[in-house]
Structure 1
């Protein structure tokens, strides 16, 4: 009797699995399997259509002549393997972009052979990463990228800009800065909002930007109806692109803020009474649309408006995308060259902007190329502040009252007193009716002003709160105008 006939099926499967695969766990306790020497990891409990570990284990056993095993034996073997893996060291898995050793970062090309791009301080190269350095997690949203071209001399960036319909050179350099930011696993980047008149190619431009990172299968999608579906889609890919937005609910606005700067969602694990699993996410986000209505101040700080114009010459979809597919290796190679150059550049970090990491990246891009990305970013934020103020009657009334104060002066009242003051100012002598959404209590006013703080501060009005023996108060200060040289630098 052979040794295989003496051993139970589960032991044969377990011995084969441990000989051909590496098993490890992530911080949330999920166990993954990697074929020896290959960076792609699959959760052993996955039944997904991208290929589960159970499936690749069954195929390996069959092709190596070990036999075909029933579901019970496979389940028992995987249960044991999972239990053993829970004692192993913790290692994260990454989608598309990952940090590496010695300050390098990796870009997953989505290829079956595991070849990836390593971006390091002196340049970039193509290699299969050590599975202990980088473990790739792939889903149906992980498209394949072409091998990037070497020695492009920046030609790919020019080719890309020729296909896109960006209205100004400032818009182009902001788009380039965003693409470089997408290649960094630890840099939160603002969400580009591609806008412009009808027929400006907003959706096409959005697809072109996304497909540089996600491959030709990357596409735009409609905004999900609820936050849970949005988070599910975001967690399964790297760049999330939402098309043709025409309205922004407060819930969607808050969810987008979390996506850009990072958050975590906790849900009950299936088939359990008390266990939970955690979904952490921070992803590059892109949106297109003509107008989304009133923009909330916290989202405005996380947006990057990119305006497009109508092209003078129209081309067929087939012609356009055929050319794009041909130049994509050159575009990707040029972007990688520029990314390595920008990361090696030294620049000071602006301390007055909400997205400080992206502002620093813009400063590095300026140091490397002289494009003026930081000034363009400041100007875009200034335009967004104008949009917020134009859509918020309370903000307009606060600024109107602040104009009655001397520069450097402050005024302190309770929130209820401020409500009466601002309400009288808005209604005026003709007692015009209050608009829908106007604060009805001092507490509501206080909350609204806290949300408007960054927008008002950008217009020289500081709102602060505190408490004395008499109670809580709100204080409005009209800031002194900056010196002339600072005004020129900022705007």
Structure 2
């Protein structure tokens, strides 16, 4: 008698599993198991606290009276299933939001029955998605959302802003544009930065915004100390909210840029020598804080400043959150109604802004409601450019130099010559000592100017690079006359 006849347990498990589950792989090579007729999928190798496929099989085999099997038989069966699944077609896996067929978008409500919201060109409805259209991945960060209310007539928007402390109507419409962008999986959205004086309710406002998308169990968290932990937290949820930021290191700033516009992390796979694990991520990000210090130019273009003010009347936490929980179904229903209306609106895409998709969404919101989101977005970017300039002495020095140029003038020098000219302008006749971080070589100056190029262009100063037969050069041109720097005293 051969081994298979002596020990058929692995075949019993494999037959049971393939009869009740559909197995597929993602583009990264991870194999998932999806109960037939249900949209939620689990990685077959997961040992997470949200329930692994191994546990799912063990419970099913026991409840159906087939038996309890040892770990060896289960491992051999899963090895076979994984090998067979690697030959199947690739299917993507999604957390919280996903693209569907015929231009639709799905929102996972986090319910055990799999019911989700389908947002389509003519409206939205509640349905269980076809498993071959949408596969949901759930983690500890996937909270349950209430059933959204129908026919709200926009009441939920007013309820939300009555609970938040946004300073202006422009801030409110930008917050609404961001929420609509969170429901579109293919649109990168800038990160709202909730700021304001102490006691303005920045953390509370941040929680209210993210819980519309992630449910009442979601919360703000501290920024992780290293990039690996930040990426792990980002990949496990849809909206990532970092609270009470007071300082932003260059590494954290670069990581946030990648989160907003998308990137891929590649690491060596565990227990292997040559294989790798790929993690692709692009997620909505939300930040709160009074002041984060100097903002780097590339991050400034990916931020959405939302200012709050101190409330005139204070309320208890219990009273505030009880009212919010009661209003959440209406808020979510109103957001879905507005999303359908905005997506149906036609508007031209602004071509001068880096986050062009979000700018187009703001233009659609204006076309649908007349709120003025796009002008508010431009004004917010102008304020962030001012913040970048006020925190960078080199930018201030370059603008001070450009203020002495004639309109339409162009000046071309090597990077070393520019460094000598700008250093002399900063030091002046008093020969002040150079500040920490001032460029020490022409190469460093050139690199710094490349980072500042969009910020200086917003002030009307064009920086360009080229070369002649003799040497490379940097060219400053002032086609309309650069404005006077706002804080010359900072020198």
Q: Smaller-chain TM-score range?
A: over 0.9
* Aligned residue in 2 for 1:293: 293
Give the secondary-structure state (helix, strand or coil) at the position aligned to 2:107. strand
Deviates more, 1:415-424 or 1:397-406: 397-406
* Aligned residue in 1 for 2:324: 324
Measured in 1, the distance between the counterparts of 2:245 and 2:190 equals 17
The reply on whether 1:308 has 2:308 as its aligned counterpart is yes
Cα gap change, 1:328 to 1:5, in 2 (>3 Å): farther
Give the secondary-structure state (helix, strand or coil) at the position aligned to 1:476. strand
Measured in 2, the distance between the counterparts of 1:449 and 1:199 equals 38
Measured in 2, the distance between the counterparts of 1:99 and 1:222 equals 30
Matched ranges for 1:87-102 at <5 A: 87-102=87-102
Contact kept in structure 1, 2:246 and 2:293, CA below 8 Å: yes
Measured in 2, the distance between the counterparts of 1:213 and 1:89 equals 31
Give the secondary-structure state (helix, strand or coil) at the position aligned to 1:49. coil
* Aligned residue in 1 for 2:241: 241
* Aligned residue in 1 for 2:128: 128
* Aligned residue in 1 for 2:161: 161
* Aligned residue in 1 for 2:20: 20
The alignment of Structure 1 onto Structure 2 pairs a total of residues equal to: 479
Unpaired runs of at least 5, structure 2: 483-491
* Aligned residue in 2 for 1:222: 222
Give the secondary-structure state (helix, strand or coil) at the position aligned to 1:432. coil
Q: Deviations over 1:283-310 (max 9, x none)?
A: 0000000000010000000000000000
Per the TM alignment, residue 481 of structure 1 is displaced from its structure 2 partner at its CA by 6.4
* Aligned residue in 2 for 1:375: 375
Give the secondary-structure state (helix, strand or coil) at the position aligned to 1:160. helix
Aligned CA RMSD, in angstroms, stands at 1.1
Give the secondary-structure state (helix, strand or coil) at the position aligned to 1:447. helix
* Aligned residue in 2 for 1:417: 417
Contact kept in structure 1, 2:297 and 2:452, CA below 8 Å: yes
Give the secondary-structure state (helix, strand or coil) at the position aligned to 1:81. helix
* Aligned residue in 1 for 2:30: 30
Give the secondary-structure state (helix, strand or coil) at the position aligned to 1:54. helix
Per the TM alignment, residue 407 of structure 1 is displaced from its structure 2 partner at its CA by 1.5
* Aligned residue in 1 for 2:474: 474
Per the TM alignment, residue 282 of structure 1 is displaced from its structure 2 partner at its CA by 0.4
Per the TM alignment, residue 186 of structure 1 is displaced from its structure 2 partner at its CA by 0.6
Per the TM alignment, residue 434 of structure 1 is displaced from its structure 2 partner at its CA by 1.0
Q: Deviations over 1:371-426 (max 9, x none)?
A: 00000000000000000001101000000111111112111100000000000111
Measured in 1, the distance between the counterparts of 2:263 and 2:300 equals 18
Measured in 2, the distance between the counterparts of 1:473 and 1:228 equals 39
* Aligned residue in 1 for 2:388: 388
Give the secondary-structure state (helix, strand or coil) at the position aligned to 1:401. helix
Measured in 2, the distance between the counterparts of 1:66 and 1:481 equals 82
Per the TM alignment, residue 324 of structure 1 is displaced from its structure 2 partner at its CA by 0.5
Measured in 1, the distance between the counterparts of 2:5 and 2:228 equals 50
